[in-house]
Structure 1
Amino acid sequence: MTSFTKRVLEIIAHIPSGKVMTYGQIAKLAGSPRGARQVVRILHSMSQKYKLPWHRVINSKGQIGIKDEELFLVQKLSLESEGIKFIGRNYINLDEFQYHPSLYERDG
């Protein structure tokens, strides 16, 4: 496993309930500012194995990026159960709900 992958897993595992992070934000914190698609692949292939809170990761527009309707609803309901409010069907106000790890946590 690469150090980037390990860092991505660690960052996602520490997103607190009621907060979200974006794929790009995670990639940048993990050391690859242009690695958002890699974050998507890591989430897709490792979420279950590492019991990651995958539902707390969204796109840079503040939207759920999943196209499958059933998985979309699972993610939306999971976020709503943590107190995250949606604007319309699929928009989360990042100013209110985006998680920004402290400097100490980023150096972890």
Structure 2
Amino acid sequence: MSIVDEVRAVVAAIPPGRVMSYGDIAARIGAGPRQVGRAMTLLDDAVPWWRVVHADGTPATCHGGTAPALLRAEGTPLTRTRVDMPRARLPRPSTT
């Protein structure tokens, strides 16, 4: 399975109202966050790309800056400009 396929599978499994950071996805698949970011650019729009955010909760700025509106529409907990990561972030897989 390619890294793009692995990223696609993880992103597709993020439920509405929840998010993962690039680093969260990287930890799950054993890659680096930059590799995840690169793979994200190769995904089609059918994958919920807006559910992948920066570690500080900043939404993606691609697609004309529509990520905040899409997150809000799904009921994702937001602060004024960012995702409320403690409330919205899916837990990282256990390392034990």
Normalization by structure 2: what TM-score? 0.84
Task: Give the CA RMSD over aligned residues.
Answer: 1.9
Structure with the greater relative contact order (CA < 8 A, sep ≥ 6): 1 or 2? 2
Q: How many residues align?
A: 94
Structure 1 letter corresponding to 2:5: K
1:8 and 2:7 aligned = yes
2:54 counterpart (59, 64, 73): 59
8 Å CA contact 2:58–2:83 kept in 1: the answer is: yes
Q: Which runs of 5+ in 1 are unaligned?
A: 104-108
Unaligned residue ranges in structure 2 (runs of 5+) = none
Tell me whether 1:37 sits opposite 2:30 in the alignment.
no
Larger radius of gyration: 1
Residue aligned with 2:5, SS: helix
Question: Structure 1 residues 39 and 47, CA, compared in 2 at 3 Å: closer, same or farther?
Answer: farther
Q: Is the 1:11–1:26 contact (alpha carbons within 8 Å) kept by the matching residues of 2?
A: yes
Give the structure 1 partner of residue 73 of structure 2. 81
Give the TM-score normalised by structure 1: 0.76
Identity %: 28
Structure with the higher helix share, 1 or 2 = 1
